[in-house]
Chains A and B, each alone.
Chain A
């Protein structure tokens, strides 16, 4: 049930949403399409579902060309950011919808729906209307509804985007466990790098209508293909000509070979973490240390220090904006 996307292009007027995108989404895995808003990831997902037509390129689902197949024949489950609950139908009827369309027997529908409502922990809400559920419950209902028809692939468009942070984290864990149980090929769109790193088996980073990198969370974090991926996946700072993660930097109170000399210009403590800004030559380097590490160094504002990347720390040649700018705000 893999998905093969080849040379997909899509424009909305003058705006290029996707530009010659090709990617293979493997069977049975949980894949994240990650990228900033407006980067084209949702458009790609909607093209896979058939809700949007590509201007060029092909989509193959499970080895079958689905490019011109209508959405109702694609056998995909789609979950929307804002749930798209059928407001006039009970939770039970919502989940039963796809089965009723397929004219399954009443007994079969009841069995399957009951099973799914148990899976998403909504069995006691079967007779409620969607308006009587919380956001998280509605999204779980939408997920059960999509799973009811046993789709070849499950597509989720920013599924937790409309939920508050706590519920989002719970549902994220729950989705991962659910996927381990159900094992259906799943693609979800997110702009939250933490969500992607935590949940996905594989991540496709999309920006400006193009794929920046495809890989496992470890690949992406440890071996970013370019400065965009590096910046998007976590905080970065600049050391000389390179981008490097602030927690991959070491501070030395005395001179060390290959280290950059500077002076501590600012110290901010946030919980267990200490953020040290070092002014070295014409740039400000951000270094994050644990509280213990910082105290062991015995330095403070004004102390001379030497900064070097830790052994094996990923670095990427910096392109674009000046040092220090977006270093604290990933994405």
Chain B
């Protein structure tokens, strides 16, 4: 094995030496692109959030309506992530391990939430679950269950927009590891549940973690679909992203930047934590 590794490394080193100049140019382009498009704008949000020191941040943290909005956003995101993780893992296994008619259609459908504008998603949900003239809403409302302009609607919209993220992380990993480990587990006496828990889940755990982080970040930041279905009621159904818009439109720039900063902070923290713990354990998962 060691021998094979050195053999494989040798030509790569030679290649690197020859391609060095173009490689640096490419790196510079990528770095500049990311800096201008992502890092700089986001850092400006942070800079503006602290334009008056900690005043703006303290102001929103002391505002009960903002705190309620932040709490609501976190609750909705957590529920949406749990739902999408369970559904996503199940769906991934279905798509990779089973053959059935309509599989390609289903696979395409799973990607739909990524391609449809969230505001369309919001409108579609209102058409189905709307309390007054939705397709399914009045019946639910009679049963005492309000979806649109209430928390369930916000959860639904968030679940919808973040739906493909876990699946798109898990499917390639399942495809790559193949079915043999699971078959080996079966032949050793493990049933479906034991095989899933002891073999499949550990194999895909990093894909799941990454999918969860992406879903969490996406769920915390959802705006368009939530704006339509939530009703944006202050202190009730107003989420953090809606607070940002509200404050921005009302010329409370400081408050808007401070809230935006908090949202960005959570997302960056999620991704940072994962990228720190991931490489350390990736060695054991490589074949």
- Collect the chain A residues with CB atoms within 8 Å of residue B188's CB: 72, 77, 97-98, 101, 145-146, 148-149
Quote the shortest CB–CB distance from B283 to chain A (angstroms).
8
Quote the shortest CB–CB distance from B270 to chain A (angstroms).
24
Say if the beta carbon of A71 comes within 8 Å of chain B: yes
Give the residue among A73, A77, A86 with the most B Cβ atoms within 10 A.
Answer: A86
Quote the shortest CB–CB distance from B247 to chain A (angstroms).
47
Quote the shortest CB–CB distance from A187 to chain B (angstroms).
13
Q: Which secondary structure characterizes the binding site on chain B?
A: helix
Say if the beta carbon of B187 comes within 8 Å of chain A: yes
Say if the beta carbon of B64 comes within 8 Å of chain A: no
Give the interface residue-count category, chain B: 20 to 34
Say if the beta carbon of A131 comes within 8 Å of chain B: yes
Say if the beta carbon of B199 comes within 8 Å of chain A: yes
The residue from A49, A84, A102, A129 contacting B189, defined by CB atoms under 8 A apart: A102
Q: Is the CB of A97 within 8 A of B183?
A: no
- Which residues, 266 to 287 on B, are CB-close (under 8 Å) to A? 283-287
Say if the beta carbon of A134 comes within 8 Å of chain B: yes
- Collect the chain B residues with CB atoms within 8 Å of residue A148's CB: 188
Q: Is the CB of A78 within 8 A of B286?
A: no
The residue from B181, B194, B202, B283 contacting A84, defined by CB atoms under 8 A apart: B181
Say if the beta carbon of B1 comes within 8 Å of chain A: yes
Say if the beta carbon of A82 comes within 8 Å of chain B: yes
Say if the beta carbon of A51 comes within 8 Å of chain B: yes
- Collect the chain B residues with CB atoms within 8 Å of residue A134's CB: 1
A49 to B191, CA, bound (A): 15
What does the 1/0 interface line of A58-90 toward B look like (CB < 8 Å)? 000000000000111110111010101111100
Q: Is the CB of A80 within 8 A of B191?
A: no
- The residues of A with any CB-CB pair to B shorter than 8 Å are 49-51, 70-74, 76-78, 80, 82, 84-88, 97-98, 101-102, 129, 131, 134, 142, 145-146, 148-149
Q: A84-B183, A87-B284 provided; 11 other pairs, C-beta below 8 A?
A: A70-B186, A72-B186, A76-B187, A77-B187, A78-B184, A97-B185, A97-B188, A97-B198, A98-B190, A102-B189, A131-B284
Some 29 contacts from A to B, beta carbons below 8 A apart, are: A49-B187, A50-B187, A51-B183, A71-B183, A72-B186, A72-B188, A72-B189, A72-B191, A74-B187, A76-B187, A77-B188, A78-B183, A78-B187, A84-B184, A86-B184, A86-B199, A87-B284, A88-B284, A97-B188, A97-B198, A98-B188, A98-B190, A101-B188, A102-B189, A129-B284, A134-B1, A142-B184, A145-B188, A146-B188
